[in-house]
Structure 1
Amino acid sequence: MSVYVGNLSYEVTQEDLTRAFTEYGTVKRIQLPTDRETGRLRGFAFVEMDTEVEETAAIEALDGAEWMGRDLKVNKAKPREERGSSGGGSWGNKGGASKRY
């Protein structure tokens, strides 16, 4: 399990997050997702800690805290949902010119 950290500054680094979360336990891994097209940070991260007790301590201490000029949103990360088709199963006439009858 990991911790979701939202509303991050776009200047945050893995080292910044490691320093902040190490206060509450051992940081095993940090993921800082970037935009595929621009390479810019997306403003959130996932932090994996050694134990659930450490994760809970970090969440309780940091959720809503002001850090690097932003109010953090920190909670248990939800499992990633499978991305299926967007329904319908056919290309249809989405976004195109309408048919005239």
Structure 2
Amino acid sequence: MRRGWMLLGLLALSDAALADEGRAGEGRYEALPLAGADGGKGGARAFILDTRDGHVWIWSENELITTPDGRRRYGAGFIYQGKLRPGSQPGEMIEQQGR
């Protein structure tokens, strides 16, 4: 069921990309699998990149979610990470995070 939600999300993003671009081939949204929880305990994750505008999301199969009625539970969800910007040269530090 959880993998079904991931596939549904990725299909929705790819359909939107194809409709937006009006062509097939390399899509607007690219997804890469990330390492999950140790021992395969339901920690599937994916890095999703909007190749046109630079937005980044992490899809997680086992994320703490707040439901509309205020309760908290674990389930699949997308977490927005921010927007990337291009650098001017290889190896350039774009933004350093505080410690």
Do they fold alike, i.e. is TM over 0.5?
A: no
If each structure's strand is expressed as a fraction of its own residues, which one has the higher value? Answer: 2
* TM class by smaller structure: 0.3 to 0.5
Q: TM-score, normalised by structure 2?
A: 0.34
Q: TM-score, normalised by structure 1?
A: 0.34
